[in-house]
């Protein structure tokens, strides 16, 4: 309890909440404990005592503010809440902040449960300890569990049922990881899980905690990592949740200028309370340890870093130095990441951070926040803006493709085309693309080819892989029937092949860690804005594999297009987005040998035909450089005099 109050009990879920145990005199039951320091009295009310607060009165440990009570005879699967009497005399019915399971909404009681499970993923877990992901392929499929696929009647598949649906699909498509949008308990479907009421409770819409463990276990056994969206930035105001938990602003900051996000209608954790550190860091370690998660994507980090985030003048309080940095939240993030990596080496701690804050993925001991990956929001905004632009005007926006390389190695980035980009009137990815129906498919393949060749790990939200035209809707499944149409089916095939190609070619992922050097990336021509063509080379660590990438961002065929290259050899097109199998017409170059004609500062050059809106990946096979040809002209003598003439 002392460590909890000090903010360093990072396994507080073993103490607080509801735990099955046996009393000293041999009675079986559950021990209940809750932090409510400002309550006048607290009782456990549950199925086992008829919801009578007089039968479940708890004892307070005054020094810690923690209330405790063992109830014999309580069994697994019983509903319970804490009945909290405030000092004003009000009675609050609160769900357990540490509950491991909850009733299915709209009901909201906590449920006693046993998390015991026998894991079978030891091979995966052992390998993870010794496998940093910086130089490994990472392509993440982001999904919302309830709207990926549903039964014919619209009801959800369970965690267990999804084993036979999701895993074969992810393996066929070639994804290394799946990222689950928040699967903690939440009340309102429309929040997509980003307004959490049960931080320790696996979402009851889809089954029991052990069923979620079975899904993660099966994913690991099939070589697929699992990342979970995690939301420590804010929580909802629901009366049964954390808000005004003991009649006071216990979890939230008491001053609205720091304690709420008006735009989101949510409350902000009070980072000045050390108990909040214990509560949330324990929660992160709980999901990584108890559920074998391979990483946490931390939502809305920017809102935690800045005191003036989405606030106008007069609506925020500066820090003790008069600045806008949230010093206590920064301290939390640094302690969070330190605690995670001490216990779980090589998991992914991913920051969704959209500002120019420096050092997000630098270690804490170097002054950074301590994450090991960050979403590259700048790349996403620039590239999507470019792809929506009419090709007539793309040459004036050419820097939107090239500028992200100026900071590509400043952090360990993930290039994310996430759910946020296909909602709220932003349109689906394919609908954002410029052009006719056919051209939109060509452009989307071009975008994905650029994304997978660009430094940074990859993330794509579900539906983008087969070109869903409507925006994502949380209340219904993806439009899987689109696979009946040729263009969508061929795009789907292309995305699967691109994933597998990426995973099998180290030059596309080995050198992209935050290092400040460009060893794995080299521009061939970044300046051809007039033709809107971009070209570069990716190399692996020992430079034994090189792939040249050439992208034509206009609906114009480029005949005899010349590109300078640093090495002599044969360049074979190993990926062509214009291939017939991907919905193109099959035209274009297949293989070309370099010529000993310098171009753009390189000693050699190649000449190709670039079909409209097409990406090429070309594999280099080195060849001996031909000897220079001698002048064999006869019958002519050249004197120094003639030479001078």
Are 283 and 9 spatial neighbours (Cβ–Cβ below 8 Å)?
no
Hey, which residues does 267 pair with through a beta bridge?
Answer: 235, 260
Backbone angles phi, psi at 499, to 5 degrees: -60, -50
Specify burial of residue 644 (Cβ count, 10 A radius: 0-12, 13-18, 19+). Answer: exposed
Indicate which residue of 185, 299, 328, 465 is catalytic. Answer: 299
Indicate which residue of 121, 252, 352, 421 is catalytic. Answer: 352
Instruction: Give CA separation, 405 vs 124, 356, 379, 521, in Å.
Output: 34, 15, 9, 9
Specify burial of residue 154 (Cβ count, 10 A radius: 0-12, 13-18, 19+). Answer: exposed
211 in active site: no
DSSP string, 291-357: S--SEEEETTHHHHHBTTTT--TTSS---TTS-SB-HHHHHHHHHHHHHHHHHSTT-EEEE---S--
260 in active site: no
DSSP string, 373-427: EEE-HHHHHHHHHHHTS-GGGGGGGTHHHHGGGGSTTTS-EEEEE-GGGGSTTS-
What is the rounded CA–CA span in Å between residue 96 and residue 237? 15
What is the rounded CA–CA span in Å between residue 281 and residue 8? 9
Closest to 121 (Cα-Cα) out of 341, 347, 283, 291: 291
Are 628 and 581 spatial neighbours (Cβ–Cβ below 8 Å)?
no
What is the rounded CA–CA span in Å between residue 579 and residue 445? 11
DSSP state of 65: T
The token pair at 517 is 């050097």
Are 388 and 421 spatial neighbours (Cβ–Cβ below 8 Å)?
no
Closest to 67 (Cα-Cα) out of 87, 82, 51: 82
Report, as residue numbers or ranges, the catalytic residues. Answer: 299, 352
């Amino acid at each position: 309890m002392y460590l909890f109050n000090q903010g360093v009990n990072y396994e507080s879920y073993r103490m607080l909440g509801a735990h099955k145990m046996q009393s000293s005199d041999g009675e079986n039951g559950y021990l209940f404990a809750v932090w409510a320091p400002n309550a006048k009295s607290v009782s456990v009310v549950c199925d086992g005592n008829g919801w009578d607060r007089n039968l479940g009165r708890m004892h307070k440990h005054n020094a810690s503010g923690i209330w405790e009570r063992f109830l014999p005879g309580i069994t697994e699967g019983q509903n319970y809440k804490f009945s909290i009497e405030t000092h004003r005399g009000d009675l609050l019915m609160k769900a357990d902040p540490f509950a491991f399971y909850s009733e299915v909404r709209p009901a909201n009681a906590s449920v006693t449960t046993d998390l015991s499970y026998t894991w079978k993923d030891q091979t995966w877990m052992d390998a993870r300890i010794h496998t940093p992901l910086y130089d490994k392929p990472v392509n993440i499929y982001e999904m919302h569990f309830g709207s990926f696929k549903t039964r014919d009647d619209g009801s959800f598949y369970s965690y267990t049922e999804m084993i036979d649906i999701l895993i074969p699909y992810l393996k066929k498509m070639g994804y290394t990881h799946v990222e689950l949008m928040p699967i903690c308990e939440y009340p309102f479907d429309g929040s997509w899980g980003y307004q959490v009421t049960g931080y320790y409770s696996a979402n009851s819409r889809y089954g029991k905690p052990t069923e979620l463990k079975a899904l993660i276990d099966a994913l690991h056994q099939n070589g697929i990592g699992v990342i979970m969206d995690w939301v420590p930035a804010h929580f909802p105001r629901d009366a049964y949740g954390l808000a005004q938990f003991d009649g006071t602003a216990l979890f939230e900051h008491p001053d609205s200028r720091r304690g709420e996000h008006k735009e989101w209608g949510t409350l902000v954790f009070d980072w000045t309370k050390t108990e909040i550190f214990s509560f949330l860091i324990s929660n992160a370690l709980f999901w990584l340890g108890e559920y074998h998660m391979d990483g946490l994507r931390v939502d809305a980090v920017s809102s935690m870093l800045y005191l003036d985030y989405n606030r106008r003048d007069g609506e925020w309080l500066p820090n003790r130095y008069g600045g806008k940095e949230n010093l206590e939240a920064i301290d939390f993030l640094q302690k969070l990441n330190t605690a995670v990596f001490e216990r779980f080496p090589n998991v992914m701690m991913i920051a969704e951070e959209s500002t120019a804050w420096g050092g997000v993925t630098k270690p804490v001991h170097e002054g950074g926040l301590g994450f090991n990956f960050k979403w590259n929001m700048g790349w996403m905004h620039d590239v999507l803006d470019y792809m929506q632009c009419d090709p007539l005007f793309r040459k004036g926006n050419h820097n939107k493709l090239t500028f992200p390389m100026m900071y590509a190695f400043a952090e360990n980035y993930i290039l994310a085309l996430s759910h946020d980009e296909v909602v709220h009137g932003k349109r689906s990815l394919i609908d954002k693309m410029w052009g006719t129906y056919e051209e939109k498919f060509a452009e989307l393949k071009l975008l994905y080819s650029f994304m997978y060749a660009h430094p940074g790990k990859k993330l794509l939200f579900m539906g983008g892989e087969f070109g869903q035209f409507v925006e994502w809707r949380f209340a219904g499944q993806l439009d899987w029937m689109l696979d009946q149409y040729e263009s969508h089916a061929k795009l789907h095939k292309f995305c699967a092949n691109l994933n597998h190609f990426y995973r099998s070619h180290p030059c596309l992922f080995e050198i992209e860690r935050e290092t400040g050097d460009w060893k794995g990336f080299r521009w061939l021509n970044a300046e051809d804005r007039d033709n809107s063509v971009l070209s570069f080379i990716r190399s692996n660590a020992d430079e034994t594999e090189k792939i040249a990438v050439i992208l034509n961002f206009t609906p114009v065929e480029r005949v005899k297009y010349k590109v300078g290259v640093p090495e002599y050899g044969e360049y074979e097109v190993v990926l062509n987005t214009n291939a017939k199998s991907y919905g193109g017409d099959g035209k274009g170059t297949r293989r070309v040998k370099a010529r000993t004609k310098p171009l753009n500062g390189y000693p050699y050059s190649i000449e190709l035909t670039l079909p409209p809106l097409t990406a090429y990946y070309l594999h280099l096979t080195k060849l001996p450089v031909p000897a220079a040809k001698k002048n064999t002209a006869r019958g002519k003598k050249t004197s120094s005099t003639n030479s001078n003439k």
